[in-house]
Amino acid sequence: MALWDSSKNMCSMEPTADGSPTVPEPELYRSIQAVLPRETDQLQQSDCFNKGMLRWTLHKKVQKNPASSLSLVWLLIKELEKAERWDSRKCIIPLLHTLMYAIFQTAYIPDELYKRVYDFCKRLLTFPHPYCTVGLSYTRQIKTERFIPGLMYQRMVIAEQRLKTVHYPFQERVFVLAEPEVFSESLVTVVSGDFEVSATSSGQFLNPLDHMRSVVQHSIQAALGDEHCHGPKLAQALKDMGQEVEPYFQEVLASLEQSLEEGVRGEGGVLRSRLLQLYNEILANADSEPLSGGPLCDCPLPNPEMSFHLWTADLDIWRELAKWLRSSSMSEQFSIIEEQEDPELGESPIDMMPCDMTRFSIMSNDSGIERDLPPSTEPSQLPSLDAVSMTGPWEQSKNEQDSKLLRRGGIKMKPSVKDSMVLIQENMEDQASLTGAGGSGGRGGRRGMTLQRRAGSSVMHNPFSKQQRQLTARIVIMGTDRVLGRLAKAYYFFRKREARRLFLTMKVDLQFYYIPVCSPKSPSSPVKENHQQSKGDSCTLGSYLSNVDPWYNCNIKSLGRMIPNLAKMQQASSERQKEPFISDIISYYVRTGQQPVYFAIYFVKISFNIMTKEPVEEVFLTHLDMEFPEFRHIIASVRGDKHRKSSGEVCGAMVSMNYRKVTLSGRDIDEGISVRMTGARINAIPSNEAEDLNCLTLMINETSVKTKNNTVEPPKFRTSNIKIRTLERRSFTVILDRDDSRTYRNVQSIEVSPCVDPGYCVQKTMRSKYKLEEDKDAGLSKYMNKGLPLPINTFAGIIN
């Protein structure tokens, strides 16, 4: 039987049973206990997979039996209070996320239960990080939801389903980008089918009117409860209205948003009276007599709107974002000045715009002012009409055959200070959460940042504040380290474009998520197997996140292992897929995974031994592998030899290494050595939790030392900046993030350093205009993180 065959039927807004839960409380209790991790558990992959599946099954069970939702909330808060008394912190994050996900979809919650949940979340503020951070976020949501019931559900549906309203002009979109090397054609078909099933209810696609009815139904039920609201009557009346439900939808939205602004309490206040009046009007228009009370209806929370893409060479994720921004119902008429194509930036912004979008004028390097012309410039050297700038005031000559342009008096438009400060502001907001990997300015200098990797948002973001960008793009990456390397590269060039001319940054909030998916294991020869083992884990970043966040391990890392097998399961099952699985996991992840972990992006300059070939500037996120091809057979023999020889006894190419050795004290030292090697690896992701430092780790293939356990291991050089250069006429090969498409041959030297955030570059350029000889870290740059991090959202961040 297929994985998703958990129920025969599901209907939106189906009335619940009379009061008593359809799922017995002992059964719910056993399901909760099965999901929870134990302090003494040494979780294997199969155990994590089971717990993740049990969590999904628990939510599905309650979704099929909506009357059990309130019982589940009561049981979860009791378990949380018990975990607090017993100081069982390992259970707090899983229970808390499960509780909030159940609250989102519960038709009505009494005030006593709201208060109990709120008090518990408030007590979490005294806990260490990350419990206090997660607790603060949920404390704010519960406090607002208690006084304005139904607000979280309403805002989720409006934003995720892109419903048109002036009262809450926020929209979200989930972009799922899959690695083509991992996702076969059959697997793509299964995932696309899963997303289609997710967008339907009982085999029918949901339209905006369905979502509007759900919002009205849930908001009225959440405020009135079963004492003053009859759910089935209300549901039937809303269904009979058809198009006429939209005015009531807008009225409900206006009432809740106005109550939030005025601080009006929902229970017993103006909001409750207004919703009761709307309830009576709806039933009166449907010629139905209002009832004093009765059973409530279930309003399932639909999965967010998602789009699935294979991240091939032809796909530009920023082009997809621009298309969404353009087609968004809330988008404005943007006035965009396109830039000239710059070799330093690669594609120009006009290349990232959709083909069907209007092409605007191209920014000229000429200011358009006569006094700015060089003395030797002749009128015939003026640019042609196709290079006209929107800020360069040109007029076409009356002599159209001459095709010359006459310039007139004008002023030079300076870049907006507001635009220039946007990237800097983002950098400053994340400063307290990040740890810079940049080194000091001189030899033996003290580094300004700690080596400890941190997580969580430094800004205590209020989800109910309107001072935020109206569009949120949730980018979910599925695959191995290869696709993460492509994301880091795309993100780096995106920031460089935005630093020159803002387009998406001011309008779209970018949130990144990662689901590690490995290629399915296939029978291979021993040679291939040894080669794969030498490469190691293909999802190192996913393995790291699963180590620091156990709930991520249960729900994302372990379940991602079975995604490649879905195609085989679908082929083996003759029945059609009935329940969404992958889209359910993604929905749970993007809604509750709001604590980012930051990973530094590293810059590498690659120089070649061919004089005519220009150096290449690249970035990487997880690995940089280098090897000398002529010594490849020696590498294999050395790896298979348990009694490794020292570097002096092994042949190889002589290279020089100049690097900055980082220390826990922050007093970094510049060192230089020469060593003979056949290859090396630079890791940016720690291999275990004990070595979790935000720096690079260099390992040379042949060099080895004996540990306390008499095992032979390569030594580790911790560094932030390193330069490797061959001293012989041999060249080496460089592979970035284990991506064969990013392989560089005939390399003579590499220079690796933390990638500098373009926001810092903008601020530095602004200062240099007014002061020729400034201090290294003067002004605002003294407080800025110079490194460019890539934030990946998790459920808890890092649990020490």
Domain closes at, from 284, 301, 318: 301
* Mean pLDDT lowest among 118-122, 174-178, 213-217, 394-398: 394-398
Q: Do 611 and 578 fall into the same domain? A: no
Could you tell me if 584 and 615 lie in one domain?
Answer: no
Quick one: pLDDT at residue 429?
A: 56
Distance CA 4, CA 87 (A): 36
pTM beyond 0.85: the answer is: no
Q: Looking at the structure, do residues 575 and 617 belong to the same domain, yes or no?
A: no
Residue 451 domain-assigned?
A: no
Percent of the chain residues past pLDDT 90, beyond the cut: 37
Instruction: Answer yes or no: do 665 and 742 share one domain.
Output: yes
Q: Is residue 390 part of a domain?
A: no
Q: Are strands 712-713 and 669-677 parallel, antiparallel or unpaired?
A: unpaired
State whether residue 13 is helix, strand or coil. Answer: coil
Q: Is residue 475 located within the same domain as residue 590?
A: yes
Identify the CA nearest to 470 among candidates 508, 441, 510, 436: 508
SS3 669: strand
Strands 717-726 and 616-620: unpaired
238 & 134 share domain: no
Greater confidence (117 vs 730) lies with 117
Query: Within a domain: residue 342?
Result: no
Residue 384 domain flag: no
Q: How many CB atoms lie within 10 A of CB 668?
A: 25
The reply to whether 297 and 309 lie within a common domain is no
One-letter identity of residue 660: R
Helix ranges (H only) for 613-733 are: 632-640
Does one domain contain both 473 and 611?
A: no
How far is it, in rounded angstroms, from Cα 239 to Cα 210? 9
Same domain, 589 and 709: no
Domains: count for the chain? 4
Q: Is residue 606 in some structural domain? A: yes
Q: What is the 3-state secondary structure (H, E, C) of 82-143?
A: HHHHCCCHHHHHHHHHHHHHHHHHCCCCCHHHHHHHHHHHHHHHHCCCCHHHHHHHHHHHHH
Which residues form the domain of 225? 207-301
More confident residue, 537 or 771: 537
- Cα–Cα distance between 309 and 203 in angstroms, integer? 24
Question: Domain containing 572 — which CATH number?
Answer: 3.40.50
Residues 191-220: what's their mean pLDDT? 84
Q: What is the pLDDT of residues 28-70, one digit of tens each?
A: 999 999 888 765 455 555 566 678 888 888 988 888 887 888 9
Q: Does one domain contain both 627 and 749?
A: yes
262 SS3 class: helix
209: its two tokens: 């009117």
Q: What is the pLDDT of residues 662-685, one digit of tens each?
A: 877 777 788 888 888 888 999 999
Q: Give the CATH number, domain containing residue 728.
A: 2.60.200.30
Average the pLDDT over each of 228-232, 589-593, 747-751, 789-793 and give the range with the smallest value: 228-232
Taking only the tens place, the pLDDT of each residue in 532-586 is: 445 668 899 999 999 999 999 999 988 777 888 877 777 776 666 678 889 999 9
Q: What is the pLDDT of residue 465?
A: 44
161 lies in some domain: no
* 225, 113 Cβ separation under 8 angstroms: no
Please identify, among 301, 316, 351, the residue that sits at the C-terminal boundary of a domain: 301
Average pLDDT over residues 278-299: 79
The verdict on residue 336 lying in a domain is no
Is residue 223, in this structure, part of any structural domain at all?
Answer: yes
**Are 229 and 241 in a shared domain?**
yes
Q: Which residues of 520-551 are buried (b: 16+ CB within 10 A; e: fewer)?
A: eeeeeeeeeeeeeeeeeebbbbbbbbbbbbbb
Task: For 335-377, write each residue's pLDDT tens digit.
Answer: 333 333 444 444 444 344 434 443 434 444 555 555 555 555 5
pLDDT of residue 20: 40
Mark whether 589 and 616 lie in a shared domain. no
